[in-house]
Structure 1
Amino acid sequence: MSKVLKILFFLGLLGAISVAGVTYAIYYNVKDKIPTVAELKDIELRIPLRIYTADNKLIGEFGEQRRTPINYAEIPPNLENAILAAEDTNFYHHPGVDILGLARAVVQLITTGQKQGGGSTITMQVARNYFLSFEQTFTRKFTEIFIALKMERELSKHEILELYVNKIYLGKRSYGFEAAAQVYYGKTLAELDLAQLAMIAGLPKAPSRYNPVVNPSRALIRRNWILQRLLTLGMIDKESYQTAVEAPITAKNHGVAPDVEAGYVSEMVRAELHDTFGDDLYNAGMTVYTTIDSGKQKAANAAIFRGVLNYDMRHGYRGSIETRTDLVDAPLDEQVKGLKKIATFEDWQTALIISTTDTTADARLANGDRATLSWDALKWAKPYLDENSQGEEPKIVPDILVPGDIVRLRPDEKLGWILAQKPTVQSALISLNSTDGSIQALVGGFNFYENKFNRITQSKRQPGSNFKPFIYASALDRGYTAASIINDAPVVFNDANLASAWRPTNDGGKFYGPTRLRQALYRSQNIVSVRLLDDLGVRPTLNYLRRFGFNPDELPHNLSLSLGSANLSPLQIATGYAVFSNGGYQVQPYLIDKVVSRDQEVLFQANPITVCRTCTQLENTQDGKPQMGLFNTTDGVRNLPIAPQVLDPEVNYIIYDIMRDVIKYGTGRRARVLNRDDIAGKTGTTNDGRDAWFSGFNGDIVTSVWSGFDNSTPLGRGEWGGSVSLPPWIDYMRYALNETESSFVHKPSSLVTVRIDPKTGERALPGQKDALFEIFRKKNVPPQRKLDLPTLDNGASNESQEEKQENSALENLF
Structure 2
Amino acid sequence: MQTDKHLEEPSNTPGEASELAKAGNITQTQTRIPAKMPTHSPAAVAQRMNDVPERPAPGVNYLVPQQPIRPAGWRTRRHIKRKNLRQTIHNITRSDRIGTRALLPLAISIFSVFLVVMLIFVTVVGFINATHKKFGDKITTLEDVLPKDNTKIYDARGNLIFQSLDQGMQTSVPLDKISPHLQHAEIAIEDQYFYNNPGYDITGIARAAIENLTTKKVVSGGSTITQQLIKNAIVGNQATVLRKLQEIILAPDISRYYTKEQILQMYLNTTYYGERSYGVEAAAHSYFGLKSSPKQTAASQLDIAQSAMLAGIPSSPIARDPLLHPKAALTRMQEVLQQMYMQGYITAKERASAIEEAQNPTFLKPATFHNGIAPHFANYTLRELASDLHVKIADLSRAGLVVNTTLDLNLQNKVLKVAQKHIAEMARVHNMSNAAVVVLDHHTGGIRTLIGNIDPSNPKYGAFDVASQGYRQPGSSFKPFIYATAFDQGISPGDTVVDGPLTVTMCCGLPSYTPANYDHKFHGLVTWRYALQNSFNIPAVKLLLKTSVDSALHTAQSMGIKTYEGTPNYTMVLGSLSIHLLDNTAAYSTFANGGIRMAPHAINTVKDQDGHMIFQFKPKGTRVLRKETAFMITDVLSDNNSRIYEFGKCSSLVLYASTMQQCYAGKPGPIRVSAAKTGTSNDFRDNWTMGFTTDVTVGVWAGNNNNQPMVNVTGVDGAGPIWHDTMLLAERGQPLRAFPGPPKTLVKRTQNSGGKISTDWHFK
Per the normalisation by structure 2, the TM-score is: 0.71
**Alpha-carbon distance between aligned partners in 1 of 2:399 and 2:581, rounded to the nearest angstrom:** 33
Measured at CA, do residues 440 and 106 of structure 1 come closer, stay the same or move farther in structure 2, by a change above 3 Å?
Answer: same
TM-superposition CA deviations, 1:101-134 (whole Å, max 9, x none): 3213345678999644252222222222222233
2:687 is equivalent to residue 685 of structure 1:
no
Does the CA-based 8 Å contact 1:213-1:252 persist in structure 2?
no
Measured at CA, do residues 551 and 211 of structure 1 come closer, stay the same or move farther in structure 2, by a change above 3 Å?
Answer: closer
**Alpha-carbon distance between aligned partners in 2 of 1:670 and 1:694, rounded to the nearest angstrom:** 12
Q: Could you tell me which of 637, 641, 649 is aligned with 1:665?
A: 649
**Alpha-carbon distance between aligned partners in 1 of 2:308 and 2:532, rounded to the nearest angstrom:** 69
Measured at CA, do residues 110 and 221 of structure 1 come closer, stay the same or move farther in structure 2, by a change above 3 Å?
Answer: closer
Q: Greater share of helix residues, 1 or 2?
A: 2
Amino acid at match of 2:391: F
Shift of 1:179: 1.7
Shift of 1:37: 6.3
Does the CA-based 8 Å contact 1:472-1:655 persist in structure 2?
no
**Alpha-carbon distance between aligned partners in 1 of 2:564 and 2:263, rounded to the nearest angstrom:** 62
**Alpha-carbon distance between aligned partners in 1 of 2:566 and 2:123, rounded to the nearest angstrom:** 76
Q: Report what 1:334 is aligned to.
A: none
Q: Report what 1:69 is aligned to.
A: 172
Q: Report what 1:434 is aligned to.
A: 442
Shift of 1:69: 1.3
Look up the SS of the partner of 1:704 in the other structure: strand
Q: Report what 1:140 is aligned to.
A: 243
Does the CA-based 8 Å contact 2:443-2:695 persist in structure 1?
yes
Look up the SS of the partner of 1:762 in the other structure: strand
Does the CA-based 8 Å contact 2:684-2:713 persist in structure 1?
yes
2:703 is equivalent to residue 695 of structure 1:
no
Does the CA-based 8 Å contact 1:483-1:761 persist in structure 2?
no
* Higher Rg of the two aligned structures: 2
Amino acid at match of 1:266: A
Amino acid at match of 2:683: D
Does the CA-based 8 Å contact 1:477-1:651 persist in structure 2?
no
**Alpha-carbon distance between aligned partners in 2 of 1:498 and 1:678, rounded to the nearest angstrom:** 47
**Alpha-carbon distance between aligned partners in 2 of 1:280 and 1:566, rounded to the nearest angstrom:** 35
Measured at CA, do residues 545 and 281 of structure 1 come closer, stay the same or move farther in structure 2, by a change above 3 Å?
Answer: closer
2:308 is equivalent to residue 169 of structure 1:
no
Does the CA-based 8 Å contact 1:104-1:118 persist in structure 2?
no
**Alpha-carbon distance between aligned partners in 2 of 1:466 and 1:568, rounded to the nearest angstrom:** 11
Measured at CA, do residues 517 and 667 of structure 1 come closer, stay the same or move farther in structure 2, by a change above 3 Å?
Answer: farther
Q: Report what 1:321 is aligned to.
A: none
TM-superposition CA deviations, 1:591-615 (whole Å, max 9, x none): 33333344544333333323xxxxx
**Alpha-carbon distance between aligned partners in 2 of 1:492 and 1:104, rounded to the nearest angstrom:** 96
Q: Please, what is the CA RMSD of the aligned residues? A: 3.8
Shift of 1:737: 0.5
Does the CA-based 8 Å contact 1:583-1:652 persist in structure 2?
no
Look up the SS of the partner of 2:183 in the other structure: helix
Measured at CA, do residues 131 and 482 of structure 1 come closer, stay the same or move farther in structure 2, by a change above 3 Å?
Answer: closer
Q: Report what 1:206 is aligned to.
A: 316
Does the CA-based 8 Å contact 1:485-1:760 persist in structure 2?
no
Measured at CA, do residues 433 and 497 of structure 1 come closer, stay the same or move farther in structure 2, by a change above 3 Å?
Answer: farther
Per the normalisation by structure 1, the TM-score is: 0.67
Does the CA-based 8 Å contact 1:482-1:654 persist in structure 2?
no
Does the CA-based 8 Å contact 1:668-1:681 persist in structure 2?
no
What are structure 1's unaligned runs of at least 5 residues?
1-14, 316-386, 389-423, 611-625, 627-641, 764-773, 780-814
2:367 is equivalent to residue 254 of structure 1:
yes
Q: Report what 1:40 is aligned to.
A: 139
Does the CA-based 8 Å contact 2:503-2:513 persist in structure 1?
yes
Q: Report what 2:472 is aligned to.
A: 461
2:704 is equivalent to residue 709 of structure 1:
yes
Look up the SS of the partner of 1:500 in the other structure: coil
2:287 is equivalent to residue 184 of structure 1:
yes
Shift of 1:729: 2.2
**Alpha-carbon distance between aligned partners in 1 of 2:179 and 2:410, rounded to the nearest angstrom:** 33
2:592 is equivalent to residue 607 of structure 1:
no
Shift of 1:706: 1.2
Amino acid at match of 1:440: R
Measured at CA, do residues 310 and 193 of structure 1 come closer, stay the same or move farther in structure 2, by a change above 3 Å?
Answer: farther
Shift of 1:544: 4.7
Look up the SS of the partner of 2:639 in the other structure: helix
Q: Report what 2:451 is aligned to.
A: 443
**Alpha-carbon distance between aligned partners in 1 of 2:566 and 2:140, rounded to the nearest angstrom:** 59
**Alpha-carbon distance between aligned partners in 1 of 2:214 and 2:336, rounded to the nearest angstrom:** 31
Measured at CA, do residues 38 and 501 of structure 1 come closer, stay the same or move farther in structure 2, by a change above 3 Å?
Answer: closer
> What are the residue-to-residue correspondences of 1:411-426 with 2, within 5 Å?
425-426=433-434
Measured at CA, do residues 491 and 159 of structure 1 come closer, stay the same or move farther in structure 2, by a change above 3 Å?
Answer: closer
Shift of 1:82: 1.8
**Alpha-carbon distance between aligned partners in 2 of 1:54 and 1:467, rounded to the nearest angstrom:** 31
Does the CA-based 8 Å contact 1:264-1:452 persist in structure 2?
yes
Look up the SS of the partner of 1:428 in the other structure: strand
2:376 is equivalent to residue 270 of structure 1:
no
Does the CA-based 8 Å contact 2:653-2:676 persist in structure 1?
no
2:762 is equivalent to residue 777 of structure 1:
yes
> What are the residue-to-residue correspondences of 1:345-384 with 2, within 5 Å?
none
Does the CA-based 8 Å contact 2:556-2:587 persist in structure 1?
no
Shift of 1:75: 1.9
**Alpha-carbon distance between aligned partners in 1 of 2:114 and 2:628, rounded to the nearest angstrom:** 91
Look up the SS of the partner of 1:461 in the other structure: coil
Q: Report what 2:718 is aligned to.
A: 724
**Alpha-carbon distance between aligned partners in 2 of 1:16 and 1:76, rounded to the nearest angstrom:** 54
Shift of 1:577: 0.6
Does the CA-based 8 Å contact 1:497-1:557 persist in structure 2?
no
TM-superposition CA deviations, 1:407-461 (whole Å, max 9, x none): xxxxxxxxxxxxxxxxx93322222221232222212223445443332232221
**Alpha-carbon distance between aligned partners in 2 of 1:218 and 1:117, rounded to the nearest angstrom:** 16
TM-superposition CA deviations, 1:707-742 (whole Å, max 9, x none): 222332112x23222233223323322221011123
Q: Could you tell me which of 153, 160, 170 is aligned with 1:58?
A: 160
After TM superposition, the structure 1 stretch with the greater mean CA deviation from structure 2, 21-30 or 451-460, is: 21-30
2:153 is equivalent to residue 87 of structure 1:
no
Look up the SS of the partner of 1:431 in the other structure: strand
**Alpha-carbon distance between aligned partners in 1 of 2:725 and 2:555, rounded to the nearest angstrom:** 34
Q: Could you tell me which of 590, 595, 598 is aligned with 1:579?
A: 590
Does the CA-based 8 Å contact 1:56-1:289 persist in structure 2?
yes
Look up the SS of the partner of 1:603 in the other structure: strand
**Alpha-carbon distance between aligned partners in 2 of 1:151 and 1:778, rounded to the nearest angstrom:** 75
After TM superposition, the structure 1 stretch with the greater mean CA deviation from structure 2, 523-532 or 436-445, is: 523-532
Does the CA-based 8 Å contact 2:656-2:671 persist in structure 1?
yes
Measured at CA, do residues 775 and 485 of structure 1 come closer, stay the same or move farther in structure 2, by a change above 3 Å?
Answer: closer
Does the CA-based 8 Å contact 1:484-1:761 persist in structure 2?
no
Look up the SS of the partner of 2:656 in the other structure: helix
**Alpha-carbon distance between aligned partners in 1 of 2:198 and 2:211, rounded to the nearest angstrom:** 22
Look up the SS of the partner of 1:730 in the other structure: helix
**Alpha-carbon distance between aligned partners in 2 of 1:107 and 1:195, rounded to the nearest angstrom:** 31
Q: Could you tell me which of 559, 566, 570 is aligned with 1:559?
A: 570
Shift of 1:285: 1.9
Measured at CA, do residues 500 and 441 of structure 1 come closer, stay the same or move farther in structure 2, by a change above 3 Å?
Answer: same
Measured at CA, do residues 757 and 244 of structure 1 come closer, stay the same or move farther in structure 2, by a change above 3 Å?
Answer: farther
Shift of 1:471: 2.6
2:181 is equivalent to residue 78 of structure 1:
yes
Does the CA-based 8 Å contact 1:668-1:682 persist in structure 2?
no
Measured at CA, do residues 207 and 659 of structure 1 come closer, stay the same or move farther in structure 2, by a change above 3 Å?
Answer: farther
**Alpha-carbon distance between aligned partners in 1 of 2:755 and 2:330, rounded to the nearest angstrom:** 87
**Alpha-carbon distance between aligned partners in 1 of 2:563 and 2:718, rounded to the nearest angstrom:** 29
Q: Report what 1:8 is aligned to.
A: none
Q: Report what 2:76 is aligned to.
A: none
**Alpha-carbon distance between aligned partners in 1 of 2:241 and 2:258, rounded to the nearest angstrom:** 26
Does the CA-based 8 Å contact 1:696-1:704 persist in structure 2?
yes
